[in-house]
Amino acid sequence: MPAASLLPLFGSAAGPGTLGGPAGSGAGGGGRKAAGPGAFRLTEKFVLLLVFSAFITLCFGAIFFLPDSSKLLSGVFFHSAALQPPPPPPGGQPRAPPQPGGGPAAAAAAGGAGSLERIRADHERALREAKETLQKLPEEIRRDIRQDKEKLLQDARGRKEAGAPGLPQRLFRQPVGAVGQEPADPDVRQRREKIKEMMKHAWDNYKRYAWGLNELKPISKQGHSSNLFGNIQGATIVDALDTLYIMEMKEEFKEAKEWVEKNLDFNVNAEISVFEVNIRFVGGLLSAYYLSGEEVFRKKAVELGEKLLPAFNTPTGIPWALLNIKSGIGRNWPWASGGSSILAEFGTLHLEFVHLSHLSGNPVFAEKVMNIRKVLNRLDKPDGLYPNYLNPSSGQWGQHHVSIGGLGDSFYEYLLKAWLMSDKTDEDGKKMYYDAVQAIETHLIRKSSGGLTYIAEWKGGLLEHKMGHLTCFAGGMFALGADGAPSDKTGHHIELGAEIARTCHESYDRTRMKLGPEAFRFDGGVEAIATRQNEKYYILRPEVIETYMYMWRLTHDPKYREWGWEAVEALEKHCRVDGGYSGIRDVYNHHESHDDVQQSFFLSETLKYLYLLFSEDDLLPFEHWVFNTEAHPLPVLRKDDGNKEENQK
């Protein structure tokens, strides 16, 4: 564009006819209307409007898009903190007079300058951080992101705990027998040390290869998780806490406690087995609290107990087997007799939930399990027996299948132990137990042609002459309950326990590896031998050793310690591997075929019962403790405990 053509935008050239010159004068005026001093041509107005619009756009862009723009915006459109008069000082004292040269204009200028300085500093800091991030390796960036996430989660947990109602204060008194004396016999002491070394081998390998996960695969040397626990982790840690404590493995107990404090998290969106989580996690945490007095275990136990409560939201109050602990939605195993709940699962909550009420001051836990008793007492029992299946909606029995092994076992155990744990005040539990034992003796207990006493299974009135490894716990149960039986039956119950212990020992002794099968039969000329391939495995189960321990404590017959030591030798020979302990697929085979799982209950039950078998009776004495079905010791609740606590508050 020629330069001359730009002149009309900014006025004429100097000389006649320029702004302020006489109207109509000068060459080229040509009748063109002269502009007065207060007027603009149309093109000039357009340019000014364009410049003004660009300026406004630039200002608003700076306000909204520069760092800390929200603070600047509030200072521009509302009132900057620098412009607001300060609040009156407390006590009505007069404010100091304003400094000379101050005033609204000066304050505004100072506030604006401060805001711009903050904007500039934030902008420069953001640029520096972006540059530093771009210079990092991808692994470092991912690590930083993980750390930021963990910090946010910890902060969120801290805020939640700070805002949640706390547990009532409780004066901790360690129950009698949390620690015991060394065995007087040096041979017994040496054997007990060997069992402690087995525990250390199992624990150290879990720590090395699967720390924080649920269980260990000792052959593969990696973690193993069952869907029984959903996304909850650390089953072996929680299950082993009390074993570590009573074996005086203090460093290991300390590191387990620290893991529980920092990592045990129940805020997961997962479906769990109510039964398994209760006996392993709730039971393990309760026991760890009662032994050590560490408050973290009480808090975690109550927190988890509260998350299990929605399982009881059924028409009858009989809980679901499976529960999503985030949504609170429950269901039953699809294979369980038309959607029924299982006797051994809903019947094995009583001990833990009574203790949850005791430690939390909240009666709802005990109320839930007492309601189960009410439902059961309203029902007719076929021949006095309790079928394994109960529909939680209709409140009626499912299939008439009765077992003292899998699906039924710990229900009977908890009837007896609820009475013992109540300081023998729970008369309802006592009656239910002894009535059930009478029906079991009448309809299920049989003697083989070779003189072995066994407990058969009952299916719709017909007996299946099979006994499971799980059923072997009953020898200890019968002996433990002998003291409360009618006086003419006390000796009989001890004898019955001894006979079951002998039969279960035979099931071990008749295998090549001297370890018991999952189930054994008494038919077709076979006695105490597994005849089906899917019953020949051994998964480090504790029930036979559990019965040996009870029988030793109650009779002091040395054969039970000898039988226990036979089991130790078999475990060391066939189950011990470099990475821990593994189950066996076929105990009758000449060559070990390992299942590559170190079960958490091996540390919780099998090794604990062995350790107690070779300990003095003052360690966890029966008059002061009962064991839950995962071998977690819980103290007897004395009748005067509540009054003592009230007086000491």
Cα angle, residue 321 at apex, residues 317 and 327 outer, rounded to 5°: 85
Q: Are 329 and 323 in contact (CB under 8 A)?
A: yes
Q: What's the CA gap between 468 and 630, in Å, rounded? A: 17
Cα angle, residue 638 at apex, residues 637 and 642 outer, rounded to 5°: 90
**Residue 437 phi, psi dihedral angles, 5° rounding:** -65, -40
Q: Are 359 and 286 in contact (CB under 8 A)?
A: yes
Query: Tokens at residue 513, please?
Result: 């590896």
Residues 6+ apart with CB under 8 A from 193: none
Q: What is the dihedral of CA 131, 132, 137, 142, to 10 degrees?
A: -100
Q: What's the CA gap between 291 and 282, in Å, rounded? A: 14
Which of the following is catalytic: 276, 518, 605, 630? 518
**Residue 479 phi, psi dihedral angles, 5° rounding:** -70, -40
Measure CA 214 to chain center: 10
Measure CA 17 to chain center: 93
| CA 378 vs CA 104, 266, 274, 312, 319: distances in Å | 84, 35, 24, 18, 17
Q: Which residues of 6-20 are buried (b: 16+ CB within 10 A; e: fewer)?
A: eeeeeebeeeebeee
| CA 500 vs CA 53, 89, 525, 555: distances in Å | 97, 84, 20, 15
Query: Tokens at residue 647, please?
Result: 């007086």
Q: What's the CA gap between 550 and 544, in Å, rounded? A: 10
Place of tokens 């039986």: 485
| CA 199 vs CA 4, 206, 517, 532: distances in Å | 101, 11, 23, 32
Q: Are 188 and 619 in contact (CB under 8 A)?
A: no
Q: Are 599 and 540 in contact (CB under 8 A)?
A: yes
Give catalytic status of residue 518 as yes or no. yes
Query: Tokens at residue 474, please?
Result: 């009953």
Q: What's the CA gap between 133 and 149, in Å, rounded? A: 17
Q: Which residues of 513-551 are buried (b: 16+ CB within 10 A; e: fewer)?
A: bbbbbbbbbbeeeebbbbeeeebbbbbbbbbbbbbbbbb
SS3 538: strand
Q: What's the CA gap between 248 and 579, in Å, rounded? A: 23
Q: What's the CA gap between 293 and 108, in Å, rounded? A: 61
Q: What's the CA gap between 230 and 509, in Å, rounded? A: 37
Query: Which residues are marked as active site?
Result: 518
